Amino acid sequence: MTAAKQLAHRWVDDNRGALSEWHRIIWDFAEPAWREYRSAAWFVDRLRREGFEVEAGSAGMPTAFAARWSNGAGPTVAGYAEYDAVPGNCQAATTRREPRPGLSEFAAGHTDPHSALGIGALAGLLATKHAMTTAGIGGTLKFFGEPAEKVQGSKLVHGLRGYYDGLDAIISYHPFYMLPLCNTTRWDTHCGAYASRIYSFICEDPETWPAAASDSPIAAAHSAARAPGANVALFMMYSLTKATTESMLAHSGGWSLNEAILTAGQATADNLPAHIAQINYAWRTPEIRMADAILEVLDRNAELAAAAGHCRLVKRWVSRTRPGVPNKALAELTYRNLAVVGAPRYGAEAIAIARELQRNLGLAPMEQPFLAACESLIEPAAAEAKLREQMPGWQTHWTSDDYVEMSWYAPTVRLYIARPMLAVPPGYGGYPAWVANALGGIAACIDPTVEVAGKTIAGTMLDLLSRPDTLAAARAEFEERARGARFIAPLLPEDFMPPIDYRWPEYATTARGYEWWIPASSELAPPR
């Protein structure tokens, strides 16, 4: 290990306490997509304290940022933080199912957890800066705040606005557990295409609906026939799409389609037809042509539903990303740095907590309660071979994440560090989701993920800054894979604006205080 890497690793070790505290701050904020106000502000303040120039609200996104620090001439390498949480996953950092204090379980919580993603990436960045300053290594570090990853919202926009132009390399890191991609780097099969669109049904002129009662002086009388309205249109869209899903694509390639009904429109059960209703569809496919086939059916269903509900239809993109571009040179370099650091290790406190979780679920505590893969490395090529076992030969990409947009602007590596997951006893159907969410907030269990990520990222950044051969190899591969005839242009226009103005779930400050927009209620609480 070089002297510079030793400096970086020592910085992570010396700052373990601070990193743990920082992580818990972001984990407790648990703010969802496009509404990560406190989380983004914390990162902006921290980076400025560390000497970075920071543009808050970058690319017109209120909860994004772009940070820069330079130590003179040299390459420019980048990393990023994510910090959005998922509505409906509020869980305390405990060994029992319960929401964070003062909130309902419908509030947001970190599932992946992006809190460890952001702080692990920040640890690598600051450790690299420390080593550069101490060892006199030239170069520039850039660090982006990427909100709304759960709807794949920001990296597309940063790319379209030119924020990734001129970068020599990008390190994309994620806490992970989906076997076999655990403590490794992604090889050939990267994430695929993603599309997300909101369909809004607006009943603007209910009085023009032809079926009015002849004896009613007004169209909204309780006994009068009324226009079907937006709720009917949304229900028709939902039903049509469920009925036509099997006709969209063949059952091959691991594609998926999900929906979310956004809260909008009237809030009382009155005789007035619903004015507005919105549904968000998101679909993941290995190839763009497959995404287009799904889009065609969705648009047709939306138009039919709008007509049936006597509504105007508004279509709004949330995101549309290209399949990812592999870079084996960077994948190999980053994995070598991970191999030096080693996989996360769970100490006695973490093991005791894991056993208590199992006991509280009615299970016999296991001698080794954590999933063995969480404490093991797997070489990228070996992970690739196992991943390919479940795919048809023609499939080139799998699942989705918006880091893929970055991979079209500069050589990009995808690094996975295990998040803590429990081993499943024989015959047990699997742990409820709250267990993994809780482990992501318990320091003894999640801190090893942050520390391993920080050291691995720092080692990789220092190689890229001080070894021209590593950058040359990564750049040559990038030019071969992502330029010329292989280039795919962005799928949305340069002036695309993300739908930050739509009704996304969020926390609210009322006379009752700071709370989730769905207040805590004893009737809606989970059973004890």
DSSP secondary structure string, 186-233?
--S----EEEEEEEEEE---GGG-S---TT-SSTT-TTS-----HHHH
Q: What is the pLDDT of residue 225?
A: 75
Task: Give a yes or no: residue 301 inside a domain.
Answer: yes
Same domain, 316 and 363: no
Average pLDDT over residues 205-224: 66
pLDDT at 220 over 70: no
Q: What is the pLDDT of residue 211?
A: 62
Q: Tens digit of pLDDT for each residue in 336-382?
A: 999 999 999 999 999 999 999 999 999 999 999 999 999 999 999 99
Same domain, 71 and 207: no
Task: Give a yes or no: residue 500 inside a domain.
Answer: no
Same domain, 338 and 479: yes
Q: What is the pLDDT of residue 512?
A: 84
DSSP string, 298-352: HHHHHHHHHHHHT-EEEEEEEEEEPPP---HHHHHHHHHHHHHH-S----HHHHH
User: Do 369 and 423 contact (CB within 8 A), yes or no?
Assistant: yes
User: Do 444 and 347 contact (CB within 8 A), yes or no?
Assistant: yes
End-to-end CA distance of the chain: 52
Name the residue with tokens 């984990």: 27
Same domain, 318 and 329: no
Average pLDDT over residues 37-58: 98
Q: What is the pLDDT of residue 421?
A: 97
Q: Tens digit of pLDDT for each residue in 250-284?
A: 988 889 999 999 887 777 777 788 999 999 999 99
Amino acid present at 102: G
Q: Kindly report the CATH number assigned to the domain that includes residue 306.
A: 3.30.70.360
Same domain, 68 and 181: yes
278: β partners: 200, 262
Q: What is the pLDDT of residue 464?
A: 98
Same domain, 41 and 150: yes
Give CA torsion, residues 292, 293, 297, 299, to 10 deg. Answer: 10
> What's the rounded Cα separation, in Å, for the pair 392 and 381?
18
Same domain, 182 and 312: no
Q: What is the pLDDT of residue 528?
A: 66
> What's the rounded Cα separation, in Å, for the pair 171 and 173?
6
Same domain, 79 and 14: yes
Closest CA to 108 of 76, 133, 83, 139: 83
* Type and span of the H or E element at 174: strand 169-176
pLDDT at 64 over 70: yes
The pLDDT-based confidence of 518 (bands split at 50, 70, 90) is confident
Same domain, 444 and 344: yes
The pTM assigned to this predicted structure is 0.95
Closest CA to 357 of 80, 20, 98, 43: 98
Tell me the residue range of the domain where 288 lies: 194-322
Task: Give a yes or no: residue 503 inside a domain.
Answer: no
Q: Tens digit of pLDDT for each residue in 401-427?
A: 999 999 999 999 999 999 999 999 999
Same domain, 13 and 135: yes
Task: Give a yes or no: residue 346 inside a domain.
Answer: yes
322, 350, 367 - which closes a domain: 322
Q: What is the pLDDT of residue 524?
A: 74
Q: What is the pLDDT of residue 269?
A: 79
268, 290, 322 - which closes a domain: 322
Paired tokens of 154 = 């920001």
Better-scored residue on pLDDT, 320 or 227:
320
Q: Is the dihedral of CA 404, 409, 411, 416 positive or negative?
A: negative
Task: Give a yes or no: residue 505 inside a domain.
Answer: no
Phi-psi region of 102 (alpha: psi -120 to 50; beta: other; left: phi over 0): left
Q: What is the pLDDT of residue 216?
A: 54
Same domain, 297 and 207: yes
Q: What is the pLDDT of residue 219?
A: 55
Paired tokens of 66 = 């772009």
Task: Give a yes or no: residue 222 inside a domain.
Answer: yes
Q: Kindly report the CATH number assigned to the domain that includes residue 68.
A: 3.40.630.10
Task: Give a yes or no: residue 510 inside a domain.
Answer: no
Strand, helix or coil at 385?
helix
Same domain, 280 and 380: no
Q: What is the pLDDT of residue 212?
A: 55
DSSP state of 127: H
Q: Tens digit of pLDDT for each residue in 123-134?
A: 999 999 999 999
- Total count of domains within the chain: 2
> What's the rounded Cα separation, in Å, for the pair 367 and 187?
34
> What's the rounded Cα separation, in Å, for the pair 380 and 184?
6
Q: Tens digit of pLDDT for each residue in 285-335?
A: 999 999 999 999 999 999 999 999 999 999 999 999 999 999 999 999 999
322, 340, 356 - which closes a domain: 322
Phi-psi region of 342 (alpha: psi -120 to 50; beta: other; left: phi over 0): left
Entry field: residues in the chain: 528
Task: Give a yes or no: residue 495 inside a domain.
Answer: no
